[in-house]
Amino acid sequence: MDKTFYRGDNCHAYHFFRKGVLHSTGGYGFWRTNNHIIYFDEKSKEWEAYSSTGTPPQGIYGGFVAYIPEKDELISFMNYTHDVNVNNGTFFRDKAIYRYSFKNNKWAQIGSVYSKIFLELFDKANPDPHNGHYFTGKYFIMPAIPFSGFQEYYAINARTLEIFNFKDYANRLTRFNIYSHESKVIEVLRNKELVLNIRPNQSEKVVYVDSQLENVDALFLNLKSVGFINEQIWYQSEMFNWYLSLLLIAIIVWGVLKKGKSLFFKRFKYANELKFSGNLINKSTIFLLKRLVDTYTTGGIDVDETNSILRLTTLAHDAQRYKRSAIVKEANVKLALLTNCHDTIQRQDSDLDRRQKRYMINSLAINAVKDFLKP
């Protein structure tokens, strides 16, 4: 039937039917494991291989692998990888969880196994990588070793990766085996979730056959999950690291904003203190402001009156102009804290003679100046 030329690397491979076609994945042979996905072609009577992309496991062997028909996917984890030419032929256990999609022929690594319960169970129940794991179509079944006076089994849901534990307190499975290598006498037959044990019982007079049929999936009905195989310790999880990073960023931003707010209020407080400080504006400038407010509606005061208020009349003409300009500029800088105008005191041309200049209060600042001058 099989005309494939050169075969032999599929020992202990996982076999399954996909859409009525026999498939095989992984296995061991020629002193190494493999990650091939192959199918039997009825026309050519040969095994053909799928070409794939993505991140496949280095080997699919001795671990857990299952075909999920409704998703048309493979799920595989806890595989062993071996090559006689690598690390002296040591078996390497891969804790990563892989998924293969037949829809796009792509492998993806979707997580890793972290569960302490599962890893301890795996080490005890699977010391020999040549032993595979029974898959019912829903659960991977693992016996608990050592036993605690009664049969105990763990089940891993291949779709959710949840772990369930069944303890046979009723002793219904005392003489029942799930794996054929558990006994040289009992014959174990499996078909998906159904397991049949055939036990020959002998006495002095008669030899008869005893059998026991169990639905393994039914053993785990209504049982609470004991965790997930990909469940991390909370402080080692990627989600915790993200939360921690966001918290640190939030603390830094809060600190920067708080410091900025503090500086803002300090500046605001200092500005308000300057507004009401008697040292901000000297007496002559205050007299000038009062006079400009009084004459606001009549167009302000001329240069001579301004010089008189600022006591500049004894200076030369050029010196008067320079000093007057400096005093007005200085006053405007300080008054900006009060009026929010950069030119509270303005110099404008006279309506009667454009060659003559007059000083007056900016219309945008008049109310603030009046409030400031109130007793």
Instruction: Report pLDDT digits (tens) over 62-102.
Output: 889 999 999 999 999 999 888 888 888 788 889 999 999 99
Q: By residue range, what is the domain housing residue 261? A: 236-275
pLDDT of residue 103: 95
A 10 A CB-CB count for 189 gives 12
CB proximity list for 252: less than 8 A, separation 6 or greater? none
Domain assignment of residue 18, yes or no: no
CB proximity list for 348: less than 8 A, separation 6 or greater? 300, 357, 358, 359, 360
Kindly report, residue by residue over 254-282, the tens digit of the pLDDT.
Answer: 888 877 766 555 555 544 444 445 456 78
* Contact predicate 45/1, CB 8 Å: yes
Q: Which of 227, 252, 275 finishes a domain? A: 275
* Contact predicate 37/18, CB 8 Å: no
Same domain? 264 vs 317: no
Domain assignment of residue 80, yes or no: no
Mean pLDDT of the chain: 84
Same domain? 292 vs 256: no
Indicate the angle between helix axes 317-339 and 283-294, nearest 10 degrees. Answer: 80
At residue 65, what is the residue type?
Answer: V
- The Cα-based distances of 97 to 1, 56, 174 in angstroms read 35, 10, 34
Kindly report, residue by residue over 133-144, the tens digit of the pLDDT.
Answer: 889 999 999 888
225-228 vs 162-167, strand pairing mode: antiparallel
The mean per-residue pLDDT over the stretch 113-123 comes to 87
Tokens coding 31: 């002193």
Q: Which residues of 109-133 are buried (b: 16+ CB within 10 A; e: fewer)?
A: eebebbbeebeebbeebbeebeebb
pLDDT of residue 278: 46
Same domain? 246 vs 322: no
Same domain? 302 vs 363: yes
Same domain? 292 vs 343: yes
Same domain? 329 vs 266: no
pLDDT of residue 6: 54
Q: How far apart are CA 131 and CA 133, in angstroms?
A: 7
Burial (CB count within 10 angstroms: exposed 0-12, middle 13-18, buried 19+), residue 44: exposed
Same domain? 296 vs 344: yes
Same domain? 303 vs 353: yes
pLDDT of residue 175: 83
Greater pLDDT, 309 or 354: 309
pLDDT of residue 276: 41
Greater pLDDT, 269 or 58: 58
pLDDT of residue 20: 94
pLDDT over 70 for what percent of the chain? 85
Domain assignment of residue 144, yes or no: no
Q: Which of 275, 305, 339 finishes a domain? A: 275
The mean per-residue pLDDT over the stretch 322-327 comes to 90
CATH of the domain at 304: 1.10.10.10
**Could you give the count of Cα atoms lying within 13 Å of 205 in the half-sphere of its Cβ?**
0
Same domain? 261 vs 309: no
Q: How far apart are CA 293 and CA 287, in angstroms?
A: 10
* Structural domain count, the chain: 2
pLDDT of residue 275: 47
Domain assignment of residue 38, yes or no: no
53-54 vs 106-112, strand pairing mode: parallel
ω before 129 within 30° of 0 (cis)? Answer: no
Domain assignment of residue 270, yes or no: yes
345-349 vs 92-101, strand pairing mode: unpaired
Domain assignment of residue 91, yes or no: no
pLDDT of residue 273: 46
Same domain? 343 vs 290: yes
Same domain? 321 vs 343: yes
- Name the helix (H) or strand (E) containing 283: helix 283-294
- Name the helix (H) or strand (E) containing 107: strand 106-112
Q: Which of 228, 248, 275 finishes a domain? A: 275
Strand partners, 140: 135, 156
Domain assignment of residue 361, yes or no: yes
Q: How far apart are CA 141 and CA 145, in angstroms?
A: 13
Same domain? 290 vs 368: yes
At residue 238, what is the residue type?
Answer: E
pLDDT of residue 121: 83
pLDDT of residue 368: 87
Domain assignment of residue 169, yes or no: no
Greater pLDDT, 185 or 267: 185
Q: Which residues of 256-292 are buried (b: 16+ CB within 10 A; e: fewer)?
A: eeeeeeeeeeeeeeeeeeeeeeeebbeeebbebbebb
